[in-house]
Amino acid sequence: MIGRVPNSDEIARIDSEHLLTTELKPADLLFVFGTRDGVKERIDAAYHLWRDGYCRWLIVSGGLTPGSDMTECHIIKAGLVSLGVPADSILEEHKATNTGENVIFSLPIIDAHLGLDTIRTVICLGNLWTSRRYPMTLHRHWPEPEKMLVVVNHYETPNALWHTDPELCARVLSEWDKIQPYMANGFIAEWPQ
């Protein structure tokens, strides 16, 4: 079955409003949202951001997923440490099962180890298709720091051609369709402002 096919106007809106890119500069914290898709790409992206001096501290958030006895956090942190990121530079959150929980469960951990008031800039790292929902969720619960966004795409389809790959297109549209209901329910906040 073929899913919804976006027209050129919707593609343009999604490109400009949802699949945002931000200027990247060194940040106080890299917030690595857990995943079960494209784990290697997520680890590589986080490692390169750390190696290239874009962060000193990282928090990896993600709980158990069906079929695994290790949390997303455990898997991603182990991959980062194997590449050379110091284990004591990585804060851990092991319970989250969705983006909202990633943020809600991570904030007390960040506060206990670093102090929320010491963090002025955060880079959000997640999947292309979810894009702006990461910083929007973070902004809802922690509006003070400046947020930047880095996304990972483990599909062979380039980011700009997301609408040409049926599976990637379906994922982007699913996330795009969540924005307004999530805003109405107070799960996310408008970002950037």
Lowest mean pLDDT: which of 63-72, 132-141, 172-181? Answer: 63-72
Residue 2 is predicted with a pLDDT of 58
Average pLDDT of every residue of the chain: 95
Instruction: Give percent of the chain above pLDDT 70.
Output: 98
Contact 133, 188 (CB under 8 A): yes
Confidence of residue 3 (pLDDT cuts 50, 70, 90): confident
* Average of per-residue pLDDT across 60-70: 91
Contact 53, 82 (CB under 8 A): no
Residue 68 has pLDDT above 90, yes or no: no
Residue 193 has pLDDT above 60, yes or no: no
Residue 133 has pLDDT above 80, yes or no: yes
What is the spatial distance between Cα 165 and Cα 155, in angstroms, rounded to a whole number? 9
Q: Residue 76: name the closest of 61, 54, 65, 98 by CA.
A: 61
Residue 90 is predicted with a pLDDT of 98
What is the spatial distance between Cα 185 and Cα 83, in angstroms, rounded to a whole number? 40
* Average of per-residue pLDDT across 155-180: 95
Confidence of residue 175 (pLDDT cuts 50, 70, 90): very high
Contact 121, 30 (CB under 8 A): no
Residue 1 has pLDDT above 50, yes or no: no
Instruction: Give percent of the chain above pLDDT 90.
Output: 91
Q: Which residues pair with 61 in a beta bridge?
A: 33, 93
Pick the CATH number of 24-151+159-184 from 3.40.50.1000, 3.40.50.620, 3.30.1490.190, 2.70.98.10: 3.40.50.620
Provide the residue type at 160 as one letter: A
* Average of per-residue pLDDT across 68-96: 97
* Average of per-residue pLDDT across 141-159: 96
